[in-house]
Structure formats: C-alpha cells, structure tokens
Amino acid sequence: MQLVEPRPGRPVPIRITPLIDVVFILLVFFMLTSRLLPVSFMELSNTTGNTSPITGQPLPEVTVERDGKASWKGHTYAIGALAGQLKARGIDEINLATAPNTRLTDFTTAFSQLSDSGITTHWKRSKQPAEQP
C-alpha cells in the first residue's frame, strides 16, 4: 500500500500573482509613508565670493527683479539688453542675485540667457533674515 502519491511528470509553475500583489502593497506603503520636501525649501550650497578667482577684482552684481528684468548700477534692463551692455564694457563674469520676491522661473531664465551670451554667471545667494515667531 502506497501512502504518498507519485510526483507529477512536469514541474509546477510558480505563481507570480501573489508576488506582484506583495510588491504593489510595499510600493503603496512606501509612497504613503515617505515625506518629500517641497522644492521651495530645498537648501542649496553656494560658495560664490565677491571677487573673481582669476583677477581678484570685484565682480559686478546683477539683481533679477520680480518682473524678470535685471537691475545693475541703479538701472533696470531686459536680460538681452543687459548682456549687450556687459559685453560692450568688457565684463565677462558677474554675480547674479535675486530680489526677495523673484520667482524661480525669472532667475533661471536670466541665468540661462546670460550664460548663453558668453558671460560667466555665478549665483550669489543672499542672506535671508531669520523668521520671527
């Protein structure tokens, strides 16, 4: 008398459906429990100095305003016109700062246009005052 049934002739396939379910549940769990920082609070390190590392001369500081225009030496320019003014005066390296209410899109547009026109552009991070409680 034989109590154990003989093994089948072919191997039993592994069922993938329960494995996919477990992976999906883990994915949902980690998506719900992870915390992402908003981009507006991302800390960026910056070691830009006030002088050129090559010549030691002070770098001109251009400030990007809220409307996307840039101010330099008390005058406001469109970015393209400012690039022409800087090139005409032989300036090929600047520090680019932002006004407190400048949008990120205005800053990146100004940074790209100045860099594309051949001006070495450094981001000058302004010191933010500590928040009052």
Residue 127 pLDDT greater than 90, yes or no:
no
43-49 average pLDDT score: 56
- 18-22, 36-40, 77-81, 109-113: lowest mean pLDDT where? 36-40
Torsions phi, psi for 97 (to 5 deg): -110, 170
The mean pLDDT of the chain is 77
CA torsion 44→54→50→41, rounded to 10°?
A: -10
* Of residues 75, 70, 67, 74, the one with CA closest to residue 121: 70
- For the chain, what percent of residues have pLDDT higher than 70? 73
76 in a structural domain = yes
Of 108, 62, 107, 52, nearest to 83 by C-alpha is 62
Domain range for 107:
50-123
Q: How many domains does the chain have?
A: 1
Q: Tell me if 93 is assigned to some domain.
A: yes
DSSP 15: P
- What pLDDT, in 10s, does the model give residues 62-91? 888 888 888 888 888 888 888 888 888 888
What's the CA gap between 58 and 48, in Å, rounded?
12
Tens-digit pLDDT profile for residues 89-126: 888 888 888 888 888 888 888 888 888 888 888 877 66
- Residue 90 counted as domain residue: yes
- pTM of the predicted model, to two decimals? 0.54
- Judge whether 68 lies within some domain: yes
> Is residue 3 in some structural domain?
no
**Cα–Cα distance for residue pair 105/113, rounded to 1 Å:** 12
Domain presence at residue 18: no
Q: Which residue has the tokens 């590392």?
A: 53
128 part of a folded domain: no
Do the domain assignments include residue 15? Answer: no
What CATH number did the domain enclosing 93 receive? Answer: 3.30.420
Q: What is the pLDDT of residue 132?
A: 44
